[in-house]
Amino acid sequence: MIKRLSISAALAATLLMTGAARAEYPEKPIEMIVAFAPGGGTDVAARSIARYMEKYLGGSARIGVINKPGAGGEIGWTTVAQGKPDGSTIGFINAPAINALVVEGKTKFKMGDLQPIANLVYDPGVLVVPKTSAYASLKDLIDAAKKASTPLVIGTSGASGSSEHIALLNFQRLAGTKFTPAFFGGTAPVRQAVLGGHVPAATMNLSEALQIAREGNIKVIGVMSAERSTYLPDAPTFREAGYDVVVGASRGIAAPKGVPADVVAKLEKAIDQALKDPEYLDAAKKAEIPLQYLASSDFKAFLDRATTDLEATWKATPWK
C-alpha cells in the first residue's frame, strides 16, 4: 500500500511540475526568424511587433529577431519548419512567396510542416493605369486586351513568381485573356514607368501606390482584396468586377508543426493584444501599414487557399 501511494504521489508531483512548466511559457528566450535581410519590410515588421509581444506574453518573455536570408526566403522558412515544436522558434512567413516556393517544389518542407499562429499585415495588390489612360475599369482593360493583336504589357514591381506576378497570372486565367509581364525589379522603376506612360498598366502593392494615387497621378482600377481598402475607399475590388482575385503581400507568424495548442493560443493572444495596443496602432497608422489580423484558424485557411490557387495557376501557366 505504501509503495502504491509513493508511486501515485510521484506521478501527481510530475504532472504538477509539467503543468507548472507549461504554464510559465515562455520559460526561455524565443527566436523569431526573419527569412530576409535586416532593414527590409519583414524585418521592420518583426522588430516592431516583437517588443509588444514580449509585453503581452508577460513575465520574463524575451524575443530575439534572427535574420536568415537567402534562396528567396527558403532558408529562413526551413529553419522555422524544422525547429523544435515547443514555442521557442517562431518566424515570419510571407505569402504567397512561401506558397509559390512550395508549389514549385523548391523547398525541404511542405506548408503542412508549419503551424500558423496569426497574420499581422496584408498589403493587397492593385492594378493601376496612367492618369491619362483610356481604361477607367478592369472591364475596359480586358476588352482592350481581347481585341489587341499582341498581349498588353503589364508592369510589375516584383520578379517572376512574386505576389504581383502571381496576381497577374490569376487575373488573366480568370479573364480568359493574356498579358505580357514586364518585370521592373522594384517599386521605384515600375511607378516611374506608369507615371511616364511607358506601360499601359502595372501591378504593385497598395502601400506602394497610395501617395501617387491620392495625388491623382495614377488611377487604381482594381484592388485585390476581399473588401475595399479604408486607405483608398473609392477604388473598386476585383471581386466587384466579377473576378475572384484576392492576392497581396501577407506577413504573419508561424511555428513548427506540433507546437502545443496552449502555446499557440498564448502566442495568438499576445499578437492580438499587441495589434490593439494604442501606441503600436498609432505608429502603424502614421506609417500606413495595412494591418490585418487573422487568428490561427483563419490564417491557416488563408494559406491553404493561397496554395490551392497557386497550384491551379502553376498547372495552367507555370511562372518559372
Mean pLDDT (the chain, rounded): 89
Check residues 318 and 83 and name the one with the higher pLDDT: 83
**122 exposure class (CB count in 10 Å sphere: 0-12, 13-18, 19+):** buried
Please, which pLDDT band fits residue 9 given cuts at 50, 70 and 90? low
Least confidently predicted of 16-30, 76-90, 204-218, 257-271: 16-30
**Residue entry with cell 504581383:** 164
Position 158 scores a pLDDT of 72
Which residues, listed in sequence order, are joined to residue 220 by a DSSP beta bridge?
128
Under 8 Å between Cβ of 230 and 224: no
CB atoms within 10 A of CB 177: 18
Per domain, the residue ranges of the chain are 27-122+249-316, 123-241
Position 208 scores a pLDDT of 82
With 60 as the cut, is the pLDDT of residue 8 above it? no
Position 6 scores a pLDDT of 52
Please, which pLDDT band fits residue 20 given cuts at 50, 70 and 90? very low
What architecture does CATH give domain 27-122+249-316?
3-Layer(aba) Sandwich (3.40)
Fold match between 27-122+249-316 and 123-241? yes
**Residue entry with cell 495568438:** 268
With 90 as the cut, is the pLDDT of residue 61 above it? yes
CATH of 123-241, one of 3.90.1150.10, 3.40.190.10, 3.10.20.600, 3.40.50.1370: 3.40.190.10
Look up residue 287 and give its three cell numbers: 506609417
pLDDT tens-digit series, residues 255-294: 999 999 999 999 999 999 999 999 999 988 887 788 989 9
